[in-house]
Chains A and B, each alone.
Chain A
Amino acid sequence: MNTVLAPPQLVVEDLHVRFRTPQRMVHAVRGVSFQVGREKIGIVGESGSGKSQTGRAIMKLTPPNGTLTARRLQFQEVDLAAASEREMLKVRGRRISMIMQDPKHALDPVMRVGAQIAEALPQDLRLSKAEKRDRVMAMLEAVHIRNPARVFALYPHEVSGGMGQRVMIAMMLMAEPDLLIADEPTSALDVTVRMQVLAILDDLVTRRGLGLIFISHDLNLVATFCDRVLIMYAGQIVEECAAAELANAQHPYTQGLLASLPRIGSRHQKLAVLSRDPAWLEG
């Protein structure tokens, strides 16, 4: 691991995301700090814990009714916190990419797969049509699609879930980003297909030296896939540990989550139910 020596790609310090609703102020992300190097970092938590909003805030994709504040939000040499929308356009999709949960909703249904992937190529490269096609084909091959020429000409409804997610990954990698944010990239997939998609992500991260932020609610998956894990509860990071050490987690919330998982071999036992301690909110 060269993560210790290399400077971190992304530094997040004291990140807050607040939403104004007609009734009240919702403090979705409450002072989150972490760093990402060229590694696979997992963010786990339950729905509503702020993990997706953290991912979106890094891309500055916080919805308009939300406000984002951070002491520091630095990606390589770019100060994201201070960056204008115009500057963000140079970062978003080019240097930081995001893979969404469900390819069925994230792909344009009336545009062929190949054309959609080509669209992700930076405009200023001024590539010819043939060059674009070659690059898309090469990328489809890189995500292990066996017959790229056929997939190139398909519409999104003609591809399966696993293939759709590969298409999304291909699209996100076209601009050769340095950081990839994957928000539940495999939750919509079947277990066996999930393994294949994860293996592709794993290889790409290793080979291209990307940083990956992997957002998931699946503790088992994150523990076995990522290098490091952040556990979020109610908008805060309650614990950070090496993924392999997750089973020995210290925080009662993490322990509670792990204990509430049914396991093969836990038959006829009562599952532990998480009791939430209000003190966790103080952090």
Chain B
Amino acid sequence: MITVKDLRVTFGTGSNLVHAVDGVSFDVGQGETYGLVGESGCGKSTILRALCGLNPNWSGAVTIGGEAMTPVRSRSFYRRVQMVFQDPYGSLHPRHTVNTTLSEPLAIHDIGDTDERIARVLVQVGLGPSFRYRYPHQLSGGQRQRLAIARALILEPQVLLLDEPTSALDVSVQAEILNLLVDLRERLGLTCILVSHDLAVVAHMCDRLGVMNAGHLLEELPVAALEDDSPSHPYTRQLLAASLGYDRRLASGAVEDIEG
């Protein structure tokens, strides 16, 4: 469904040139959920932004659904690929009601039966019709993220790009959103890429993942390898150990690591 070959994204010029994504290649099958993990600044969100057309300054070869991607995307592209952002407090227009937020994509793409589609998508994400004329400030964090998911789904895309969809939420709300995403993915047959710094979230949602560091894809592994504790790359092992909690013995090797 998605193939990425030798993707490169740079920011700045001259001595300020930063290789944010430095030759990354991976494939995502139809209906698969692929995870990208890594620490902040490793380039994982930059990959998503390049894939969905928010950042046209990339090189390499990307095909989605068999079609080669150009830096600038056509309108029909966005009917097939949609994104859910990290922060539901920042990604929704504060002065647009739920109804306005959801009718905008439909208006842009000249899609009719607005009423029916909005009602349907609200039920799909578990909000219900009573939320239709509310403003974002009247919604909790979890409800906002449901609305952001509804906005992505209203165009009935085939590919959903998820950029840390639960990192701004409490654990109990995170569980609700993850359950919703699993449910929608199965019901609608979505292909997803999930970016997260939380190994447990990726392990819960995905079948395969890529581990990134400093713009490079260090290794690709099936989630089963995390489950039986057999990742080969030392960095992946470090992430895995850290995700299990604090351990003074593990930290002792790491204390001196930062260059002062």
Task: List residues of chain A with CB under 8 Å of any chain B CB.
Answer: 46-47, 140, 144-148, 150-151, 160-163, 166, 190-196, 198-200, 202, 217, 219-221, 223-225, 256-257, 260-268, 270-274
**Which of B23-31, B66-74, B130-138, B168-176 lies at the interface with chain A?**
B168-176
Q: Judge whether B258 and A224 touch: CB under 8 Å.
A: no
Inter-chain residue pair count (beta carbon < 8 A)? 136
Residues on B with C-beta less than 8 A from A147 are 259-260
Q: Is B197 an interface residue (CB 8 A)?
A: yes
Residue from B204, B238, B242, B260 with most neighbouring chain A CB atoms (10 Å): B260
Partner of B204, one of A190, A223, A271: A271
Query: How many residues of B are in contact with the other chain, CB < 8 A?
Result: 44
Cβ distance A217 to chain B, nearest Cβ, rounded Å: 7
Task: List residues of chain B with CB under 8 Å of any chain A CB.
Answer: 39-40, 141, 170-172, 174-176, 178-179, 182, 197-201, 203-205, 207, 223, 226-227, 238-240, 242-248, 250-252, 254-260
CA distance A104 to B257 in the complex (A): 21
Q: Judge whether B238 and A260 touch: CB under 8 Å.
A: no
Partner of A267, one of B227, B238, B244, B257: B227
Q: Judge whether A144 and B171 touch: CB under 8 Å.
A: no
CA distance A5 to B251 in the complex (A): 30
CA distance A273 to B183 in the complex (A): 14
Q: Judge whether B170 and A192 touch: CB under 8 Å.
A: no
Q: Which residue of A lies closest to B239 (CB)?
A: A191
Partner of B170, one of A47, A190, A193, A271: A47
Residues on A with C-beta less than 8 A from B227 are 264-265, 267
Whether A262 touches B172, Cβ cut-off 8 Å, given contacts A160-B258, A190-B39, is: no
Whether A274 touches B172, Cβ cut-off 8 Å, given contacts A190-B40, A264-B200, A264-B203, is: yes
